[in-house]
Amino acid sequence: MLLADDLALDAPDGRPLFSGLHLSLEPGANLLVLGPGGCGKSQLLRALAGTLPPRSGRVRVGGVDLWPGEGALALAGRVRLGFVFAQGGLLSNQTLRDNVTLPLRFGGMSAGEAVGRAERALSRFGLGAVAGFRPHAVSAGARKLASYARVAALEPDLVILDDPLEGVESGDRAEVLDLIQAWAADPARTLVLALEDPGPFAGLPARRLHLAPGGLSPSDPEQP
Ligand SMILES: Nc1ncnc2c1ncn2[C@@H]1O[C@H](COP(=O)(O)OP(=O)(O)OP(=O)(O)O)[C@@H](O)[C@H]1O
């Protein structure tokens, strides 16, 4: 489902983060990307999600080349990819409802079905009453939940979550944890999580990739 071959990434200032990364995740596999702040976890997830070109190397998702290639655009209508970045990543000029609906429409779903599914996903997270609001009109916690609703509605083949509990209010943690555990247990879904510390995900059945300042952790058994 997810293949990274000889991947090298730089920080936005051009500083090398790591090189020679190999990953191969079959459908249903889970991966925890671990490492201290600033070591490049977010940049790696963006490259795997097709939103940030690597310095060199290859990324394939569901048999589709993202890099070299046109990144996430290449996935349209072929592989469903859902991601939640630390800041949520909602489109600020669209309502929460439209933020959830748009990826479904891009995947070819009819407008009626997409809106119905978006409404149900937002209601599940207690956001039904604010579905017509734009992201800046709701709290940071609600924005984060809406970004989870967007992924849940999409039912993606690949889920990529950066710092999954960052910004989730304490009363919503159990709901979000349940959702992530269900994704992790689904044999058809591949899940990638980035965290400084596994915390509540320590028991997740997942492989681990350790990033360290200045490169890959030399103790990482995944690497050749
Ligand atoms: N927009 C940006 N502009 C400049 N530098 C950036 C930007 N985003 C990330 N960086 C730098 O790139 C490096 C990797 O950042 P990245 O966010 O991938 O690390 P991380 O492991 O995810 O850390 P954290 O857990 O703190 O988010 C860091 O040194 C960071 O300062």
Q: What is the pLDDT of residues 121-176, one digit of tens each?
A: 999 999 999 999 999 999 999 999 999 999 999 999 999 999 999 999 999 999 99
Going by CA atoms, what residue is nearest to atom 29 of ligand 1?
38
Same domain, 140 and 51: no
The verdict on the CB of residue 38 being under 6 Å from ligand 1 is yes
- Report the nearest atom of ligand 1 relative to the CA of 194: 22
Q: What is the pLDDT of residues 83-108, one digit of tens each?
A: 998 876 899 999 999 999 999 998 88
As beta bridge partners, residue 85 has 88
pTM: 0.93
Going by CA atoms, what residue is nearest to atom 3 of ligand 1?
12
Interval between CA 199 and ligand 1 midpoint (Å): 21
The Cα 24–Cα 13 span in angstroms is: 28
Give the pLDDT of residue 217: 66
Within 10 Å of residue 221's Cβ, how many Cβ atoms?
Answer: 9
- The residue with tokens 């919503």 is 172
For residue 221, being part of any structural domain is answered with: yes
- Structural domain boundaries, residue 196: 1-79+157-167+188-224
User: By three-state DSSP, how is residue 46 classified?
Assistant: helix
Give the pLDDT of residue 222: 58
What DSSP character marks residue 88? Answer: B
Last residue of a domain, one of 134, 156, 178: 156
Interval between CA 214 and ligand 1 midpoint (Å): 13
Same domain, 3 and 100: no
Backbone angles phi, psi at 211, to 5 degrees: -100, 150
For residue 38, being part of any structural domain is answered with: yes
Residue 58: closest CA among 105, 16, 8, 18: 8
What does the pLDDT average to over 76-87? 88
Query: In the chain, how many domains are there?
Result: 2
Same domain, 72 and 99: no
Interval between CA 111 and ligand 1 midpoint (Å): 37
What does the pLDDT average to over 5-30? 94
For residue 175, being part of any structural domain is answered with: no
Same domain, 162 and 62: yes
For residue 183, being part of any structural domain is answered with: no
